[in-house]
Amino acid sequence: SSELTQPPSVSVSPGQTARITCSGDALPRQYTYWYQQKPGQAPVLVIYKDTERPSGIPERFSGSSSGTTATLTISGVPPEDEADYYCQSTDSSGAVVFGGGTKLTVL
């Protein structure tokens, strides 16, 4: 299956570490990508190829992947990181698949 499963919501206090997971049977064979989307805005790529961070993305964003689960970690979360986060991968035919999204709340 090429489906990706994310928790609907994650809550943290400012300054804590947030971890958002993405599970899928194909993840051992395919890279995971992560996007941040704030209300009314287009998504922004924050992690590519499981662990790489695009230029301009703060170092507090990191990614990892093990087996069928990929994880986006945000260290020392500031209030402005409150957003929806989506994981994305591809299947064997090259088709793109998105996870359902996780709403990160910074209380």
Count of CB atoms situated within 10 Å of the CB of 31: 17
Instruction: Supply the DSSP symbol for 2.
Output: -
Q: Which two tokens stand for residue 88?
A: 């994305």
Residue closer to other proteins (CB basis): 16 or 49: 49
For other proteins, the binding residues in 19-38 under the rule CB under 8 A are 30-31, 33, 35, 37
Residue closer to other proteins (CB basis): 76 or 96: 96
Q: Which of 74, 77, 101, 106 binds other proteins (CB under 8 A)?
A: 101
Residue closer to other proteins (CB basis): 13 or 25: 25
By CB under 8 A, tell whether 43 contacts other proteins: yes
b (16+ CB within 10 A) / e for 48-86: bebeebeeebeeebbbebeeeebbbebeebeeebbbbbb
Q: How far is the CB of 10 from other proteins (least distance, A)?
A: 15
